[in-house]
Amino acid sequence: MKKYLLFILISAFSITVKANCEDLKPFTVVIDRGHDAVDRGAIVEDESEYEILAALVAEITGELTGDLNVIYHNPTGEHLTIEERAAQINALKPDLVISIHMGFSDNGPRQAAIILNDKNLEFEKSKEHASSLITHLTKDAYFSTIRTEVNGMALLEKVNSAAFILEIGNMNAARDRYYLQSNGSKRVSINFTAFLNDLN
């Protein structure tokens, strides 16, 4: 009987320790910049989506106050297939993946969107995090309206965590390109950092 009680106590202690360790685990966010040094994305007037996003992502996070682990995927711009990108991201075991791109349309400036995939394993969590990011980013009047759409973006289906794509700005709008390469990037950074700090 004493041995049985001891086993129960040890088991309970082990479960408690495991739970506490999980509570202490930092919330890991992978930021995946769209495109790479080979596939530079949309190119307008000698400006490429890749270069604009590289500069934006480099300063997109400010001071983090929570227990967060932010990882910038593929910082060197290595050319990767979707499968290779997903495999590398999954190896990092993130809680959230945000792939950042720019849109491309003829509808003028202020084009921003969140893109989700309902085949993502953590689709509901993806929607929750996306909604929170929209709340923060729309504090900047320049991006006062951010639409949400669900489509079959392959990367979102292949990663094992909550994930969405942020399309910020319109490559086809000179005003958006200028905004994201001037003081606008600072506003995006402030609001994006506030979103990250609210995650944990």
- pLDDT (tens digit, 9 = 90+) per residue, 148-179? 999 989 999 999 999 999 999 888 889 999 99
pLDDT of 103-157, one tens digit each? Answer: 887 766 667 899 999 999 999 999 999 999 999 999 999 999 899 999 989 999 9
Residues in contact with 40: Cβ distance below 8 Å, sequence separation at least 6, in sequence order: 48, 49, 50, 51
Global pTM exceeds 0.75: yes
Structure tokens at 111: 């084009």
d(C-alpha 33, C-alpha 80), whole Å: 12
Closest CA to 35 of 90, 104, 95: 104
Average pLDDT of the residues of the chain:
85
Average pLDDT value for residue range 178-182:
92
Is the confidence at residue 199, as pLDDT, over 80?
yes
Local structure of 110: helix, strand or coil: coil
Q: Which domains does the chain have, with CATH numbers?
A: 26-197 (3.40.630.40)
How many C-beta neighbours within 10 Å does residue 166 have? 22
Is the confidence at residue 14, as pLDDT, over 60?
no
